[in-house]
Homo-oligomer: A and B are copies of this chain.
Amino acid sequence: MDIGTIVGLVSGAGLILSAILMGGSLGMFIDMPSVFIVIGGSLATGFIKFPMHDVFNTVKVMMKVFLFKAESEDKTINDMMNYAKIAKSEGLIALEKEKPDDEYAAKALQFLSDGIDEGLIEAMLKKDIKMMVDRHTVGKEFFSQLGLAAPAFGMIGTLVGLVQMLGNMSDPSSIGPSMAIALLTTLYGAIVANLVFLPIAFKLEYRSTEEKSIKNIILEATIGITRGIPPMVLEESLRIFLDPKKRVEISSGNKKD
């Protein structure tokens, strides 16, 4: 469970809300037509820009921002080192019995135990990472595009309001409130873009990078196994993926084994 995302959304919304309440009532900041034009308009461009199944897929993608938990890099390295030692002592065929939780690692082990050509294994595992990144990019890009569309529709709503206000200036006392309402769509557009759409797009990309990093460890370990690199050297090589401080811990932890 990703607490940071929730903390950020709640505290950001809370700050804006308290700024509103300190200066008056919340009522004057609520205008349903403005909500429709900003959120609805942004989603409408989403339907033009993306195929429908991608739009409906979004809810699932968004869940990832709240629920995703990347595999630990330490554990992945330890697991892969175990497989490397098994391959060294019992042969590649012995990897058939191993059942890693990670789908990607499972596929890598299966390729190894099937005795598929070394170059093909590398090509297929690399393509798998590339395809994953491509799929993630669609989800990330969807929210980026909403983040671009929302301020634009905010401006469109404000322009509509301004034109209406300027066309009916017979009652000077209504100018202020009319303009306040006109500005609300710009405000809505700025808030949903900067507090919701753009940060979610960023987090999705970050998550994708984390998943890719784990897969790169598995990929490199698998290539090392096919090339018969000595486990000591392979471990040294995989530990480079870790933050220097973590490397020491793992290193000493392994010595205890």
Q: Is A243 an interface residue (CB 8 A)?
A: yes
Would you call A194 and B51 a contact (CB within 8 A)? no
- Known contacts A47-B8, A123-B237, A160-B19; A180 and B199 CB within 8 A of each other: no
Name A153's contact: one of B155, B157, B173, B194 (CB within 8 Å): B194
Q: Is A82 an interface residue (CB 8 A)?
A: no
Pick out which of these stretches binds chain B: A34-42, A85-93, A94-102, A249-257: A34-42
Nearest B residue (CB) for A200: B48
Q: Is A63 an interface residue (CB 8 A)?
A: no
- Known contacts A44-B11, A194-B153; A183 and B163 CB within 8 A of each other: yes
Question: Interface 1/0s, chain A 181-222, versus B by CB < 8 A?
Answer: 001101100110111001110110010000000000000000
Question: Interface 1/0s, chain A 20-54, versus B by CB < 8 A?
Answer: 10111000110001001100110111111111100
By DSSP majority rule, is chain A's interface helix, strand, loop, or mixed? Answer: helix
- Known contacts A9-B44, A37-B19, A44-B11; A167 and B176 CB within 8 A of each other: yes
- Inter-chain CA distance A198–B44, complex, in Å, is 13
Q: Is A61 an interface residue (CB 8 A)?
A: no
Question: Interface 1/0s, chain A 96-134, versus B by CB < 8 A?
Answer: 000000010000000000001100100110011001000
Instruction: Tell which of A44, A153, A166 has the most Cβ of chain B within 10 Å.
Output: A44
Name A36's contact: one of B19, B203, B243 (CB within 8 Å): B19
Would you call B190 and A23 a contact (CB within 8 A)? no
Which residues of chain B come closer than 8 Å to A20, judged between CB atoms? 160, 164
Which residues of chain B come closer than 8 Å to A49, judged between CB atoms? 8, 199, 202-203, 206
Nearest B residue (CB) for A45: B199
Q: Is A168 an interface residue (CB 8 A)?
A: yes
Would you call A24 and B164 a contact (CB within 8 A)? yes
